[in-house]
Copies of this chain bind each other. A is one copy, B any other.
Amino acid sequence: MGTIAQGVYKHLTKKKSALEKEFDAKYELVKVCDLDFTKALELGIPREKLTKNALDVVDDPEIDIVCELIGGVNAAFDFTMRALKNGKVVVSANKAVICEKGKQIFEASNFESYFFEASVGGSIPIIKVVREALVANKFEHIYGILNGTCNYILTRMANEGSPFEEILADAKKLGYAEANDTLDVDGFDTAHKAVILTYLATGKWIKQSQMIIEGIRQVKQQDIKWAKENGYSIKLVASVNTRFRGKKVFTSVRPALVARDSVLGNVNGVYNAVAVEGDLIGTGIYIGKGAGQDPTSSAVISDIFDAIKYLKGGPKIGDLCEHDDIKIADLEEVKGVYYVRICVKDKPGVLAGIAEKFARHGISIELMEQSKHDEPSKAWLIMITHQTNEKAIKGLFADLKKTTVVQDNPFVLRIFE
């Protein structure tokens, strides 16, 4: 009975008669499992429906649909597998378990009795759209803003001009960021969702170690300022790209410069956005709240609707299949244009030395700007590259980190066209 479960219960109860008409079926809450009954009792759920043992739910022959709203990997996985083996339909909002154990879960569900709309993009129905509405398309690129906390922080940094740490601290106070901020701020939550989108786009399960994952912790006002002056917004962008020679995919999570007069550049605050490039539709963009009790409940309830249709004897809702023949593209094949920000000692010869490092990795520079640092002995260098690739950037950064004239960590933003 966490936040999402409370929302799902509340709306299924409040809208029961309307939803039963829409679903063309009756539903009833059979059991709730939680280690602490306080919330459930507060909501008016009778004590005889409460249990602390999840097996009372997943083994109960009376239960058709199990909503796994626990979060985390291990317990969620065990209960999900057992529920599926017991013939139940499982509805889940748990991106972490899908990311880690999706292959086994989907196989156990025969690719049909596991529903997971709420796992990516909150109220954005991206799973249904990709599986059903865009069924005629080959997916060339799926990308977007998938973490509301990061987008909220970046939006406030741009609006208020305050440093990252200050906005993060305030976001925690206001409940927009968790006390443990790593999952959101360092890009791992976005990466979980990107793994699911990669599977949907290609049928391939990838590991986080096969991706680039960078968060927003290093974004500075220096970057925001440059972005504003040059017509960009900074967004944490997940990208699932299949535009390579041969059957390949590459998935990355990176802060990026996005044109301010583009749709994605205007998706602000807690909103998420997913763009889908398909061979028939061209580009489609879907925007909505990515988290929160009500938007996520909306997605869970739509899955319950599909679960009911499935239980009524309907065929598979949408196609899911595995394609293990798809390869991960090499870093060298992953092309892009980048913004690189470096803090250097302000002394003669430094610029030449840095430029030489770019040249050594075959990266040509389109634009270089030097600006004042708060400390007079240091300077900021900002470089915009011509088209290069992730391997060159990786080599450059390894090199820059070894150089004594480079102070602080060098920082890179993808320029997203």
Binding site for B on A (CB under 8 A): 11, 15, 19, 21-24, 117, 123-125, 128-129, 132-137, 260-263, 265-267, 278-289, 294-295, 297-299, 301-302, 305-306, 309, 312-317, 319, 321
Cβ–Cβ contact B135 & A22, under 8 A: yes
Cβ–Cβ contact A288 & B298, under 8 A: no
The 6 closest A-B pairs by CB, nearest first: A125-B133, A314-B314, A136-B301, A284-B288, A280-B298, A123-B281
Please, which residue of chain B has its CB at the minimum distance from the CB of A270? B282
Please, which residue of chain B has its CB at the minimum distance from the CB of A25? B315
Please report the C-alpha to C-alpha distance between residue A302 and residue B317 in the assembled complex, in whole angstroms.
Answer: 12
Tell me the smallest distance from the CB of A20 to a CB of chain B, in Å.
11
Cβ–Cβ contact B312 & A295, under 8 A: no
**Which residues from B are CB-within-8-Å of A305?**
132, 135-136
Assess A284 versus B284: contact at CB under 8 Å? Given A309-B315, A314-B314, A315-B24. Answer: no
Cβ–Cβ contact B314 & A124, under 8 A: no
Cβ–Cβ contact A294 & B314, under 8 A: no
Tell me the smallest distance from the CB of A263 to a CB of chain B, in Å.
5
Cβ–Cβ contact A282 & B288, under 8 A: yes
**Which residues from B are CB-within-8-Å of A24?**
315-316, 319
**Which residues from B are CB-within-8-Å of A21?**
319, 321
Our pick among B265, B282, B287 for the contact of A289 (Cβ within 8 Å) is B282
Please, which residue of chain B has its CB at the minimum distance from the CB of A263? B266
Our pick among B22, B133, B299 for the contact of A319 (Cβ within 8 Å) is B22
Cβ–Cβ contact B294 & A281, under 8 A: yes
Our pick among B19, B132, B265 for the contact of A135 (Cβ within 8 Å) is B19
Q: What copy number does this chain have within its complex?
A: 2
Cβ–Cβ contact A280 & B297, under 8 A: yes
Our pick among B23, B261, B262, B298 for the contact of A137 (Cβ within 8 Å) is B298
Tell me the smallest distance from the CB of A152 to a CB of chain B, in Å.
14
Cβ–Cβ contact A280 & B294, under 8 A: yes
Cβ–Cβ contact B312 & A134, under 8 A: no
| Beyond A123-B280, A281-B298, 13 extra complex contacts between A and B, CB < 8 Å | A11-B280, A22-B321, A125-B134, A135-B305, A136-B297, A261-B266, A281-B288, A284-B287, A285-B287, A286-B287, A312-B314, A313-B313, A314-B315
Please report the C-alpha to C-alpha distance between residue A287 and residue B275 in the assembled complex, in whole angstroms.
Answer: 9
Tell me the smallest distance from the CB of A19 to a CB of chain B, in Å.
7
Please, which residue of chain B has its CB at the minimum distance from the CB of A133? B125
Cβ–Cβ contact B123 & A128, under 8 A: no
Our pick among B11, B124, B267, B306 for the contact of A132 (Cβ within 8 Å) is B306
Please, which residue of chain B has its CB at the minimum distance from the CB of A285? B287
**Which residues from B are CB-within-8-Å of A297?**
136, 280
**Which residues from B are CB-within-8-Å of A134?**
125, 298, 302
Please report the C-alpha to C-alpha distance between residue A267 and residue B265 in the assembled complex, in whole angstroms.
Answer: 12
Please, which residue of chain B has its CB at the minimum distance from the CB of A321? B21
Cβ–Cβ contact A125 & B129, under 8 A: yes
Assess A19 versus B136: contact at CB under 8 Å? Given A125-B129, A287-B284. Answer: yes
**Which residues from B are CB-within-8-Å of A288?**
281-285
**Which residues from B are CB-within-8-Å of A284?**
123-124, 286-289
Please report the C-alpha to C-alpha distance between residue A261 and residue B297 in the assembled complex, in whole angstroms.
Answer: 29
Please report the C-alpha to C-alpha distance between residue A313 and residue B125 in the assembled complex, in whole angstroms.
Answer: 25
Please, which residue of chain B has its CB at the minimum distance from the CB of A117? B133
**Which residues from B are CB-within-8-Å of A316?**
24, 309
Our pick among B128, B136, B315 for the contact of A313 (Cβ within 8 Å) is B315
Q: List 19 A-B contacts (CB under 8 A).
A: A15-B136, A21-B321, A22-B135, A22-B321, A23-B135, A123-B284, A124-B284, A128-B128, A129-B133, A134-B302, A260-B261, A261-B266, A266-B266, A281-B298, A286-B287, A309-B314, A309-B315, A309-B316, A313-B315
